[in-house]
Chains A and B, each alone.
Chain A
């Protein structure tokens, strides 16, 4: 029996006048998936999220959450199972962080005191101060605590780490990994491809309102690894295993070899130590960014 989708977007189009912000997008999300929703500014990510939450309705097509069709008038029914945070989220400035979190908790059933304590430990939000007096990063921490505090089965995040310092970004990624273990479904738009590659099990790529790529966990895995660039006095052969995208070239400095390596780092170290006449070496993380850039350099819109 097929697993029912938590999110189902079927040929959704959203027009603003003649402009198509989202154009015939279709995808579905299964329980427990961690979706990275990427694309440049104006690609249609936030418009899609607005439709998922029922802030706006699609001009054409349908959107369903938990098997129920989403309409602005009835969207609240599914919101008891959804947590939401956005990078530009406006929280009630006259309330303190604690008042706001309590307000959010009071809108759903159950006791979330332990969960709040756990999230407070992770993010250290300033709960006693008025939200209006907090910096963007500190407001974002409160938005994230509010999104996760009711233990929702689906968390929708729109640029969740913008405004967070690197330590908090790491804390957030750790939380998402923990949520993945718990079986929570996370739908996360982000500009930070590194964080998407780190935690997501699948990546949806938007371009000009269209969904142009749906990268599975396997494909994501294939984009991981390290890019090695080695310049030597004489031509060398790359390691025998866990190597792809091998390229040889010759320039004034010598012979250049570049390849993608996905094996153990100790094996790579051994292989490098065996090479004679090394002039230069460069090792960098291969990221989703390469995939992303390739798609955006392609004018056709389809890979």
Chain B
């Protein structure tokens, strides 16, 4: 363990393992449900009679017969962004304020490690851990697919969905990490990040049914991860730029403030 990056990965190994296993199970479960959803025509009829607000909550059900659109709407749309986003927020908050509140940050900063290096290596660990857990999703899907009839998906589509999931996680994680690094306050980092993810969830689900909310849907981070559109039309680079740009901007502001602020 020669640097903060490796040290952080080591210290977060059980967190990473736990969430990765959870994602494997979650993905495997959703893939195994596919035959039931595809064959049961009653679901189509049920969906047709649902209020628009409920449709938003359960994802886009426009084509459950295709495995790719089923996977996009039932795994990657709404549910996964919410769960993965919360995981990333917990991680980002833990890597910033939790360490500072325990006093461990002072211990690290008493060593010949620059604040910028420390911040960057911790953030890099966040990015890698998010990547490992997304790999868990891939494993869950890839391992279960051969046992499920009709379950095939284009490798490019799956890669695009996984890449956007990772990018969304990094954005939510960087939000919590950035606010934590700027303020040093656990409460602020948690409250603002949870507000962002719950707000995104509300805007992206109820925005489909409530007119005045629809005008603000662009404020939702989940809005930039339209899973069903990705499998139909490919990745929108505008969405990648928005999430990527926001991540870079958050990290930059965090770095500028963190390098000179007082540590608790």
Where the two chains meet, the residues of A that have a C-beta atom closer than 8 Å to any C-beta of B are: 50, 53-57, 71-77, 79-80, 82, 84, 88-92, 94-95, 99, 102-104, 106-108
Contact = CB atoms under 8 A, between A and B. Distances in A.
Interface stretch (B21-29, B38-46, B98-106, B206-214): B98-106
Q: Is the interface of A mostly helix, strand, loop or mixed?
A: loop
B111 A90 contact: no
Interface string B91-117: 000000000001110110111111110
A90 B107 contact: yes
A74 B7 CA distance: 22
B260 A99 contact: no
A56 B262 contact: yes
Interface of B: 1-3, 7, 10-11, 102-104, 106-107, 109-116, 259-263
A203 B114 CA distance: 31
Contact of B115 (A76, A92, A99, A103): A76
Contacts of A72: 115, 259-263
A75 B116 CA distance: 12
A133 to B, nearest CB: 15
Contacts of A57: 260, 262
A121 B29 CA distance: 56
Given A72-B261, A73-B260, A92 B110 contact: no
Contacts, number: 76
A125 to B, nearest CB: 16
Nearest to B259: A73
Contacts of A99: 1
A102 B111 CA distance: 13
Contacts of A108: 112
A78 to B, nearest CB: 8
Contacts of A54: 109
Contact of A79 (B1, B104, B111, B263): B111
Contacts of B259: 72-73
A106 B1 contact: yes
A204 B115 CA distance: 30
Contacts of A102: 1
B262 A84 contact: no
B11 A79 contact: no
A139 B259 CA distance: 29
Nearest to A85: B110
B11 A95 contact: yes
Nearest to A106: B2
Contacts of A73: 114-116, 259-260
6 contacts: A74-B114, A80-B112, A89-B107, A95-B1, A103-B1, A106-B1
A40 to B, nearest CB: 22
Contacts of A103: 1-2, 7
B260 A55 contact: no
Contacts of A107: 111-113
Interface centre among B2, B116, B262 (most CB of A within 10 A): B262
Given A72-B262, A90-B106, 20 more contacts: A53-B106, A55-B106, A55-B262, A55-B263, A57-B262, A71-B260, A72-B259, A72-B261, A72-B263, A73-B116, A76-B109, A76-B114, A80-B112, A88-B103, A90-B104, A90-B107, A92-B11, A95-B1, A95-B10, A104-B111
Contacts of B110: 53, 79, 82, 84
Q: Which 10 pairs show the lowest CB-CB distances between chains A and B? A: A90-B103, A80-B112, A56-B262, A84-B110, A79-B112, A106-B2, A73-B259, A76-B114, A55-B263, A90-B104
A86 to B, nearest CB: 8
B111 to A, nearest CB: 5
A121 to B, nearest CB: 24
Nearest to A56: B262
B185 to A, nearest CB: 15
A88 B103 CA distance: 9
A94 B111 contact: no
